[in-house]
Amino acid sequence: MPNNLPSEEVQRLLREVVDHFDKEDASIRERQIRTWRQLKLAWDGYSRIWFSEVAHDWRIFDASQTGDTEQAAYDKPVNVFRAYLESIIAALSVTVPPIKCYPDDADNTLDLSTARAGDKIAELIYRHNDVPLLWLHALFIYCTEGMVACYSYPKSDVKYGTYEKKNYEDVEETHSTVTCPECGYQLDNQIQDPEQAALKQKAKLEQDKFMPDESDVPVQDVVQGDMELCPSCMQMIAPLLAEETFVITRLVGVTNEAKSRMCLEAYGGLYVKVPNYAKKQEDCPYLIYAYETHFANVIERYDHLQKGDLAQKLKASTGPKDPYEEWGRLNPQYQGEYPQNVITCRNAWLRPAAFNILEPEQAKELKKLYPNGCKVVLANDCFAEACDEALDDYWTLTHNPMSDFIHHDPLGLLLVSIQEITNDLISLTLQTIEHGIGQTFADPGVLNFNAYRQMESVPGGIYEATPKSGKSIGDAFHEVKTATLSPEVMPFGTQIQSLGQLVSGALPSLFGGSIEGAETASQYSMSRAQALQRQQNTWKMLISWWKQIFGKTIPMFIKEVKDDERDVQRDKNGGFFNVFIRKAELEGKLGKIELEANENLPLTWSQVKDVVMKLLEAQNPEVLAILGAPENLPIIREAIGLTDFFVPGEDDREKIHDDIKALLNSEPLQTGDPMMPEMPSVEVDPIFDNLEMGFEIVRNWVVSEAGRQAKIDNEAGYRNVLLYGKMFHMLSQQQMMAQPPVGADGKPVKEDQAAPITGEPNEANV
């Protein structure tokens, strides 16, 4: 029986608890699933739908299947529902808020080291989980389902790499203690060979024998050889032997184990069930995460389900545990059909308080087995796994401050009516335009229809027509218009779109649309700022949720890490360097997790460009000096938008960074000169190198994270770079000293030109 599979009685009790909470609020959850399913279909473009009370399902209306081909020609819906929500998602996903770790004690060096390592861990988790895509998915869930739940957990896999695990065993060894019989001074304490120990033990017995024979010669040699000089009492003694047995740990082998990664996944209400009465996460006695998968995947994951009656039972019970739940999570592409050979896998996290629904003795037994709470996995009705896990360690739910409960209406619910009205307006307008083409009635006595059909219609043609007596030809023709579009339709459509922007917050300036009454760039900028201000509520809620996630994930990573982690990163100059997360740096405590930047919405490219241009136009010397720093040159070029724009000094900067890479891969050259024993392995050219920029770049690199790390890992290369920077500084000072003096008029003073005498002539200036 697997270690994580309890006894049958405990399985029965846990299954009873899970089923109890799974059936809780069943009717309310059905209404929720119906709403969430409607929004998912609207996102995918299925807006012409209706709910069948008989089938308890949303049915997609297709006029062509009902035989109404005429109406099918006018059903051309435009998905404004998705367009509005995508604009909001795009505005909130410009960047993912970075994480900053704080130490528990600012005066503790271990805590400071762990906090710095925590920042590296956050960056590593970002890359491992494709966090920009995870952030997008979380926004999508917020718009279509409301509450967002993040599942953070460690996962071990060989594809993540391996580390060496040393295996030890406890063995017994005999130690001989040698002491002086006169003063008790301990002469030696060593591991004794078993045969030598037995021989010395026999020697003690032979000391009292009167006439030893030849067989006792080896023993007597030991007796005579045991006479030693005690360094404490300076007596010739026969040391006393005392044997003791100790248990020591010995290395027996090394195995390669799979490394772990922290995985982050975001889900909504369709997959995660929490009680509707809960106001915050602490109020949830349970959390049930359910999903559908092929039964073969479940059998592969749990060994005890691969054989016996359980495997046959699992294969025979293919199909959803709850058809309504599965229908809510079903891919809209199925369009009413259901997949085959799938089962529902329910993962339930139960707090210890959840066991109180059982009898007191039964609840006490489960609390003793699972003091932190229990994670129970059920594959349909088959018990798969149970282990001690705390709900709050693995799950983080959003908390909307504008709602009294965890569950709240999704943002897309406000746009359903807008989408339906838009569909009706488009269909009505198309029909009106087509039926607005007039029909003409003619008197067959005036126009010969058979002859007219046989003639070719040409411009300026002349056709025979016989008017009736006393009437003109025009009296024989009458034109009728069957439909006319009301003049109120178009203004009403514009009003509906304005209402859609109002209820969702997706104003035109958010997605680059035209703004009525705005013609200048400043007006557009102000309008966009106001549009983004509307999204501040959502942004603040999500970043608070984000901080809570990493407040759990980073400590979990520290707990799970088994060996030093290495991550290859790329600097701003296009170079690569290693970033290490060393296990020795993780011995301190983290205080809190905060955002590295402020809590305002991230700036878009156009906003960054506006800020840079305003700073350049200000002509402030201090600001221009900052913008002109070598490290900021690529940022300025990118902000301006001229990627091919030549920036003076950029080639110098790249050349110096290339030299730093070469210096790190070599060692200083030994000169043999006592005044300057070492020289950098890369020579500085005083004519072609930019000396001032070179020294500044080297100085910035030395104090950067890459430089501090190189000081620890590559001492010779780090010293090589320091010598390189000192050469820049020395040559720069020499050039400044070699420059001729400058006179009061700003022109250099010639060497043979006497300095002018200022003031009244006296003995001092003569």
Cβ neighbours of residue 761 closer than 8 Å, sequence gap 6 or more = none
How far apart are alpha carbons 185 and 174 in whole angstroms? 20
The whole-angstrom separation of Cα 132 and Cα 109 is 33
Spatial neighbors of 222 by CB under 8 A, at least 6 apart, are 199, 200, 203
3-state SS of 422-441? HHHHHHHHHHHHHHCCCEEE
Closest-CA residue to 301 (of 316, 314, 287): 314
Helices (H), 561-647: 605-618, 621-627, 633-640
Owning domain of residue 169 = 151-205+223-267
Instruction: For residue 132, give the 3-state DSSP assignment.
Output: helix
Partners of 174 in the β-ladder: 245
Based on the fold, state whether residues 178 and 155 are members of the same structural domain.
yes
Tally of domains within the chain: 3
| Mean pLDDT, all residues of the chain | 79
Together in a domain, 609 and 733: yes
Domain-embedded: residue 126: no
Pairing assessment for the beta strands 272-273 and 240-267 based on DSSP bridges: unpaired
Euclidean distance between CA atoms 119 and 554, whole angstroms: 9
Q: Is the CB of residue 118 less than 8 Å from the CB of residue 585?
A: no
pLDDT given at position 171: 78
Specify the length of the chain in residues: 766
In a domain, 596, yes or no: no
182 domain residue, yes or no: yes
**350 and 327 housed in the same domain:** yes
Residues 303 and 382 in one domain: yes
Answer for the pair 384, 6: CB distance below 8 angstroms, yes or no.
no
Give the separation between CA 102 and CA 105, rounded to whole angstroms: 9
SS (H, E, C) 567-579: EEEECCCCCEEEE
In 3D space, the residue among 145, 94, 351, 380 whose CA is nearest the CA of residue 267 turns out to be: 145
- Write down the pLDDT at residue 614: 73
Residues 282, 351, single domain; the answer is: yes
Is residue 60 assigned to a domain?
no
d(CA 94, CA 510): 12
For residues 386 and 376, the answer to whether their CB atoms sit within 8 Å is yes
How much is the pLDDT for 113?
86
Structure token pair of residue 382:
């088959």
Q: Is 713 a domain residue?
A: yes
Domain boundary among 409, 433, 451: 409
Find the DSSP H helices in 619-714.
Answer: 621-627, 633-640, 650-664, 691-703, 705-713
| 289 & 262 share domain | no
- Same domain (yes/no): 254, 363: no
- Angle at the Cα of 161 from the Cα atoms of 155 and 164, rounded to 5 degrees: 100
Beta bridge partners of 290: 346
Q: Are residues 313 and 228 in the same domain?
A: no
- Per-residue burial over 473-496, b if 16 or more Cβ lie within 10 Å, else e, is eeebeeeeeeeeeeeeeeeeeeeb
CA distance 553 to 488: 57
Cα distances from 433 to residues 79, 274, 438, 485, in angstroms, run 21, 51, 11, 7
Rounded CA gap, 543 and 594, in Å? 10
Q: Do residues 257 and 284 both lie within one domain?
A: no
Q: Is the dihedral of CA 619, 622, 628, 634 positive or negative?
A: negative
Q: What does the block give as tokens for 362?
A: 């039964």
At 173 the pLDDT is 75
Q: What is the pLDDT of residue 253?
A: 77
Q: For residues 259 and 281, state if they share a domain.
A: no
Please say whether the beta carbons of 206 and 216 come within 8 A.
yes
Q: How many helices (H) and strands (E) does the chain have?
A: 26, 21
Has residue 548 been placed in a domain?
A: no
Residue at 441 is within a domain: no
What pLDDT was estimated at residue 588?
Answer: 86
Pair of tokens at residue 8? 């049958």
Q: Are 11 and 370 in contact (CB under 8 A)?
A: no
Q: Are residues 295 and 403 in the same domain?
A: yes
H or E element at residue 219: helix 217-225
Dihedral in degrees, nearest 10, Cα atoms 475, 478, 479, 481: 130
Domain boundary among 344, 379, 409: 409
Residues 263, 342 within the same domain:
no
**What residue ranges of the chain have pLDDT lower than 50?**
1-2, 190-194, 207-211, 218-223, 755, 766
| 469, two tokens | 């007596």
What residue type is assigned to position 693 of the chain? M
pLDDT tens column, 46-66 = 878 888 777 677 777 765 555
Rounded to the nearest angstrom, the gap between the alpha carbon of residue 578 and the centroid of all alpha carbons in its chain is 20
Class of residue 313 by CB neighbours under 10 A (exposed 0-12, middle 13-18, buried 19+): middle
Torsion angle in degrees (nearest 10) through CA of 475, 481, 482, 483: -160
Angle (nearest 5°) at CA 233 between 229 and 234: 40
- The residue from 409, 430, 453 where one domain ends is 409
Would you say 649 and 633 are in contact if contact means Cβ atoms under 8 Å apart?
A: yes
Phi, psi of 207 (to 5 degrees): -65, -25
* 87 within domain boundaries: no
